[in-house]
A and B are shown apart, each in its own frame.
Chain A
């Protein structure tokens, strides 16, 4: 077994890193402070082809392999969690259509999503429904040639930015997926501000009040919305969130290394104290361990192995728990400075926690991973 990036993957990784340092890192604090993604940054991401990073070249995407997609999300996650969130939810919409869309839906949406002309997002969560996705209350009723949607979606990442949403609704009690454009009659949205972390992710509450969409906007079959559409989207979501955690943890580590080599206490650099060294060691080892799990999940995805789904759960669980610990230690090492916005690490700490909630909470992961292994013996 060889665990080594190809020359092309290494080269792209370097390009991603340079791009993130140049075009994303300078906006990260502003995105957080203003609770808004800087439009120039989003435009640069689109110009660089990042919005099509998860789509094949046949529809105008980059055609990256799964490992390269992971490396991209690591680097973007290192720069700005909200920018990585954009890639995640936008990709979930695109991949849903690529996998389950009709030829017409693919033709209409995939090239526009791939070049960033249109931004997509994913609408599953509701005010009363989080982990228990089967219980969504939004409904869709067929009326002639149109679906009529009613309901509220909450915590929708990029909800204030997206042009088009993948909305999940019950059709006679059967969860189903729909394309809902933001300019459809009966559709409205309200920003959600004041979040703990990922504050640049432009969260929204989406309201569908007799929102009418064409009959052809149904994605896949009635009743397959969760089992096939949402779960395949969430698999990509979980994978990119996991890699984003690696990137965020790497940002924490790099901030710590810089700090402990310059900050002095008791006449010595912080890095000379053994308790600080212990924290640094744990960061290095935990980041490497989670990165290896992400690489393993990426490899299995690339070869189409069904175990890739479960290994992605494992990787996301490991990476999201790991980044919370790493970000906590990062603030600890920075002391008072780590608690103030003059240093980015307080943002890292707030952003880190969100990863334990999105794309399946830590507890849902614990339940599912344990259940899977218990079933296998």
Chain B
């Protein structure tokens, strides 16, 4: 499990205390997150991984699962060609 996965999983665990999240599990479909979650997630990703979440990144599919979040962060961290 890579570092992004571990840190993201730890952050998400505060919202999913009694549920062991699978990498491919749809976190929005579980119904645990409240209206503040979206901003908390953006702040977490920006602070923890040193990225900036832009308007163009705001596609729920980027944040739907742990696997998708890892993919998104890795893409944002990759040097621009």
Contact = CB atoms under 8 A, between A and B. Distances in A.
Interface stretch (B2-10, B36-44, B73-81): B36-44
A371 B47 contact: no
A306 B10 CA distance: 13
Q: Is the interface of A mostly helix, strand, loop or mixed?
A: helix
A228 B43 contact: no
Given A304-B46, A305-B47, A227 B17 contact: no
Contacts of B38: 227-228, 231
Contact of A377 (B17, B32, B39): B17
Contacts of A228: 38-39, 42, 58
Contacts of B44: 306
A102 B44 CA distance: 23
A231 B36 contact: yes
Contact of A306 (B17, B43, B55): B43
A64 interface: no
Q: Which bracket fits the contact residues of A?
A: 20 to 34
Interface in A276-333: 303-306, 308-310
A260 interface: no
B58 A220 contact: yes
B55 to A, nearest CB: 5
B43 A226 contact: no
Interface in A249-282: none
A259 B40 CA distance: 45
Contacts of A220: 55, 58
A260 B35 CA distance: 46
Interface string B5-28: 000000100110100000000000
Nearest to A377: B17
Contacts of B35: 226-227, 231
Residue of A310, A372, A375 with highest tally of chain B CB at under 10 A = A375
Interface in A218-254: 220-221, 224, 226-228, 231-232, 235
B43 A309 contact: yes
Given A220-B58, A368-B34, A305 B43 contact: yes
Given A303-B47, A306-B47, A376 B58 contact: no
A64 to B, nearest CB: 19
Interface string A112-145: 0000000000000000000000000000000000
Nearest to B60: A223
A282 B47 CA distance: 38
Interface of B: 11, 14-15, 17, 32, 34-36, 38-44, 46-47, 55, 58
